[in-house]
Amino acid sequence: MAESKASKKSHSLILQDRKDLQLTGVSDVGNFDDTAVTIFTDIGELLVRGKNLQINNLSLEKGEVHLSGEIDSLSYGEKESRNAGFLSKIFK
């Protein structure tokens, strides 16, 4: 139990002028290109969309990512366990 608490990182993001995005609490980075980056956090998947996106700094050990480019949107998806719980409540 203590091991899972230690692996969980606090998640935060700082977006400046829609051009500079700094994230903490990152566990992994999925697909990425110059128009979209998929970032995995303990609170869900984050999809960053824009133009000319670049990963300037990535440290999974520290759980940090720094992106730059023209950021158009940030969209969180739910964790799988939350989706199952939400859908099961609807279809009861």
Domain boundaries, the chain: 2-90
- Could you give the C-alpha distances from 63 to 25, 53, 58, 66, 72, in angstroms and in order? 5, 19, 8, 11, 23
pLDDT of residue 91: 52
pLDDT of residue 90: 54
Domain 2-90 has CATH 1.20.1420.20: no
Distance CA 44, CA 68 (A): 21
pLDDT in tens, 61-84: 999 999 999 999 999 997 754 344
pLDDT in tens, 20-70: 999 999 999 999 999 999 999 989 999 999 999 999 999 999 999 999 999
pLDDT of residue 7: 58
Stretch (H or E) spanning 75: strand 64-77
- Could you give the C-alpha distances from 12 to 44, 65, 92, in angstroms and in order? 12, 11, 35
pLDDT of residue 31: 92
